[in-house]
Structure 1
Amino acid sequence: MTVSQPLSAPRAVAPAYRFAIDPSEVARFRRLLPGATDAGTGAPLAGTSVPAFFLCRALPPAVRSALAGTGADAAAVRHAGQRITLHRRPGPDERLTAHAVVESVGDYGFQRAVVLRVTLRDAADGAVAELLTTLAIGPATGQGRIDPPPAAVLRGPPLLRWHARVPDDLPERYARASGDDNPIHTDADAARRAGLPGVVLHGMATLQLAAAGVTERLFGGDETRWREVRTRFARPVRPGDTIAFTVHRDETYHDEAYRTEGYREEAYRAEGAAPGGDVLGLTASVDGNPVLKDTWFSGAVA
């Protein structure tokens, strides 16, 4: 993600705070979310003891602090983009420290947006994970612009296709699992006051469904076979919707036109992909309309 005009320097939004990986909370997270267990046996999927998306429970305190000085109505805030980078997989009972910084504030399309970076570090101050979150907080103001990197170009036949129906109770379950209590996901009246047709699914829950499908169908349930996921949230998903997912091997960073536009291969890897392994592009749509855009899993071993 680039900023086309210099904006204010990154600033901490709160003092560093603790993030404990409690095994009982990890078990509860698995129980609440689809894809965390094998559909046939009910057993936990193979690979990792701490699901990658469990680390997103570190986000709500940082988001609340970041929004405190903006005057934004929490119910009007929209999750516009997310990147999760895993430097290593943490274990149960680890105590991590979260450092939250507002990277930039600027116009993102037709919206005003805040880019928030939360870095999770271990007791030895080693990097464990990084969560880069883009939040739309209101109408654009014309003061600085935040540009996403060029869209990925998917090539070749798809590796994988599947459909997933959104369970009616998933917004409530994801709110409980993640700690994201924005009422548009659980209260139909609050959602309608925010201009929505009713309760909508968290964007991160849509991304988690995608990650669970890739992990189970392509990686045999071994989540450690991808190290980074990135997406832009295009439109909300509602309970009962059926999402169509397609996965391709993404070779965008080899494209000459992409490199000549200023995103050389090394820049692409720094901005959008963890080193090593394949880059897998994903599309997700409901009734032909995209709900996730510019989505890829990187550092993947297919």
Structure 2
Amino acid sequence: MSETGPETGPGTLSAREVGTHTVANTTLLDERLVMAYATSINDQNEAYFDDTRPGGLNVHPGIVFSLQWNSRFRPGQPVNMRAAPYGVHAHTDLSIVRPFSCGEAITTQGRLIARQQIPPGVYSVERYTMRDAKGDVIAVLDYNGITRGATLEGDNVRIDDDVPEPAFEPTSEGEPDWIDHIHVPRHAGQQYTECARIYNPIHTERSVALAAGLPDIILHGSATKAMALSSVIQHCFEGDARRITRLSGQLRAMVLMNTDIRVVCHQVSDDETERKIRFSVLNQDSKPAIANGFVVGHL
């Protein structure tokens, strides 16, 4: 990434980097990793832990966040340490072609597909494609972020389109279909870090979080989203993660440790083959930690 401009702040990001790829990283989804990811979010579903069940372990779809994190580096491009502290995770959109299987090797590689100037800074979209050993696509994750205060060097550019969102029937916002209350324990950041293999010290070390201007260590956005998906799977898909084909949502307010969050289901609608759910997550201050969330899965 480029680094020009004033000596303070995030500096500039280059539009010329759009189209570049991250390193391709292969991960074996063995029993240890599958169980560890479910443990990272305190999911109690036996399908992730009982390896004697017919068909073996189910794999929580949130494991894509671990795969993405460990393939995010770009060979030949040094990490922009100046801009990095100003980056925030804004939105993710996951499309699943088929369920992940325990025991298979998944190769993940990302590509920067868009950069544009927006009022808060520079908006970037990375698309991570996950393939099995045959090269077949298993899942695609769009990971969108904002580098606050940064300036884009060059014109706005996009080389691939967003995945269209599903259509929901219009509905008045009445009582929720259901609400799940989830406690976020004091050690949630450390637990998710180690079990999901996603390390950023703002989630584990209070000194780093405070130095970054945060009130305390905060929960990973991907952990919040995975917890919400677990609730949706239990309530709407009979605990069967293999039915999930889509997960999307915007990350907003912070989630602190030793607090309670609420997963709110706003709508469930079925057609001939699919079930669609609209949800949000409210943090300890009743502010949306995840907004405009939706899940799609097979009936």
Indicate whether the TM-score tops 0.5.
Answer: yes
Aligned to 1:112: 122
Q: Among 278, 281, 294, which residue is 1:284 paired with?
A: 281
Task: Report the CA distance shift for 1:51/1:36 in structure 2 as closer, same or farther (over 3 A).
Answer: farther
- The CA distance in 2 between the partners of 1:101 and 1:299, in whole Å, is 26
For residues 56-113 of structure 1, what are the alpha-carbon distances to aligned partners after superposition, in whole Å with 9 as ceiling and x for unaligned?
2211233343984545444442211111211111212211222210111223551323
**CA–CA separation in structure 1 for the residues paired with 2:277 and 2:171:** 9
Task: Give the Cα–Cα distance (whole angstroms) in 2 for the partners of residues 14 and 206 of structure 1.
Answer: 25
Match of 1:296 in 2: 294
Q: Is the 8 A contact 1:72 1:138 kept in 2?
A: no
The match for 2:32 among 21, 24, 28 is 24
Specify whether residues 117 and 56 from structure 1 end up closer, same or farther in structure 2 by C-alpha distance, changes over 3 A only: same
Alpha-carbon spacing, 1:166–1:154, altered in 2? closer, same or farther (3 Å): farther
Extract unaligned runs of 5+ from structure 2: 1-14
Q: C-alpha separation between the residues in 2 aligned to 1:10 and 1:173?
A: 34
1:272-301: CA deviation from partner (whole Å, max 9, x where unpaired): xxx941221002112331111111001353
Among candidates 72, 79, 91, match of residue 81 of structure 1:
91
Q: Which amino acid counterpart does residue 280 of structure 2 have in structure 1?
A: T
* Distance in 2 of aligned mates of 1:243 and 1:106: 33
Please show how residues 55-66 of structure 1 align to structure 2 within 5 Å. Answer: 55-65=64-74
Q: 1:265-284 maps to which residues of 2 (within 5 A)?
A: 276-284=273-281
Q: Output the TM-score relative to the length of structure 1.
A: 0.77
Change (3 A) 1:244 1:54: same
Which residue identity does 2:68 align to in structure 1? Answer: L
Amino acid at match of 2:38: R
Q: Secondary structure at the match of 1:171?
A: helix
* Number of the residue aligned with 1:207: 225
Bigger shift: residues 28-37 or 189-198: 28-37
8 Å contact 1:10–1:103 — kept in the other structure? yes
* 1:16 partner letter: A
| Alignment of structure 1 residues 1-150 onto 2, 5 Å | 10-37=18-45, 49-65=58-74, 68=78, 70-108=80-118, 110-141=120-151, 144=156
Return the alpha-carbon distance in structure 1 between the equivalents of residues 54 and 146 of structure 2. Answer: 36
- Within the candidate set 235, 252, 264, 2:253 is matched to 235
Identical-residue share of aligned pairs (%): 21
Question: Residues 25, 243 of structure 1: CA spacing in aligned structure 2 closer, same or farther, 3 A cutoff?
Answer: same
What is the distance in 2 between the residues matched to 1:109 and 1:281? 28
Q: Which moved more, 1:53-62 or 1:9-18?
A: 9-18
- TM-score where L is the length of structure 2: 0.78
* In 2: Cα distance, 1:285 partner to 1:247 partner: 11
**Residue 32 to residue 283, structure 1, CA distance change in 2 (3 Å):** closer
**Structure whose residues are more often helix by fraction:** 1
Please list every run of 5 or more consecutive structure 1 residues that lacks an aligned counterpart in the other structure. Answer: 1-6, 252-274
Give the letter for the 2:247 counterpart: V
Residues 213-271 of structure 1, C-alpha deviation per residue, up to 9 Å, x if partnerless? 111233221112321100110111101222122113267xxxxxxxxxxxxxxxxxxxx
Q: Which residue of 2 aligns with 1:160?
A: 178
